[in-house]
Amino acid sequence: RVIVAVAAAPKKSWIPAVKGGGNFTDPEWLDGSLPGDYGFDPLGLGKDPAFLKWYREAELIHGRWAMAAVVGIFIGQAWSGVPWFEAGADPNALAPFSFGSLLGTQLLLMGWVESKRDGVYIPDTEKLERLKLAEIKHARIAMLAMLIFYFEAGQGKTPLGALGL
């Protein structure tokens, strides 16, 4: 146990260490075993291990949707000129492609992904941990981006518009 503690890199914390010791110590339920654990849980939501597992699952799923959404919001508007928050408003608006091409594209892309399912690529542990950390970091920044997109939309602004594009 001692050897592990000595060998492991010091865990990064969300709050810089305060000289002379602050009031912040990482909660013991955040032991660094989860990728992207910086000891941030002031409300203690993850105290119960079952909840912690559930919250991590929710964080990942929200993050993956948000990552897809951020890309979709940029590409959708660049492609069609329609802001993401108006895309569903016009019942007469048509997608710039037919249902057939949508279905065909879907079949090709999903078929390709599914065909990869058997010979699953399993990176070595070190690489896997790096990828997991990258995923959770990208997921978090995408969720933050979505939050900002919502505020922007409240002012009638789009991400592309706000960038002056």
Question: Can you give the binding site for ligand XAT, defined by CB under 6 A?
Answer: 40-43, 45, 62, 65-66, 69, 72-73, 76, 84, 87, 143, 146-147
Q: Do 149 and 73 touch, CB atoms closer than 8 A?
A: yes
Q: CB-wise, 38 or 132, nearer to ligand XAT?
A: 38
Instruction: Tell me the closest approach of the beta carbon of residue 24 to ligand XAT, in angstroms.
Output: 13
Distance of CA 24 to the CA centre of its chain: 26
Q: CB-wise, 73 or 136, nearer to ligand XAT?
A: 73
Distance CA 156, CA 138 (A): 26
Q: CB-wise, 61 or 134, nearer to ligand XAT?
A: 61
Instruction: Tell me the closest approach of the beta carbon of residue 77 to ligand XAT, in angstroms.
Output: 8
Instruction: Tell me the closest approach of the beta carbon of residue 14 to ligand XAT, in angstroms.
Output: 9
- Of 24, 30, 62, nearest to 44 by C-alpha is 30
Distance CA 49, CA 46 (A): 6
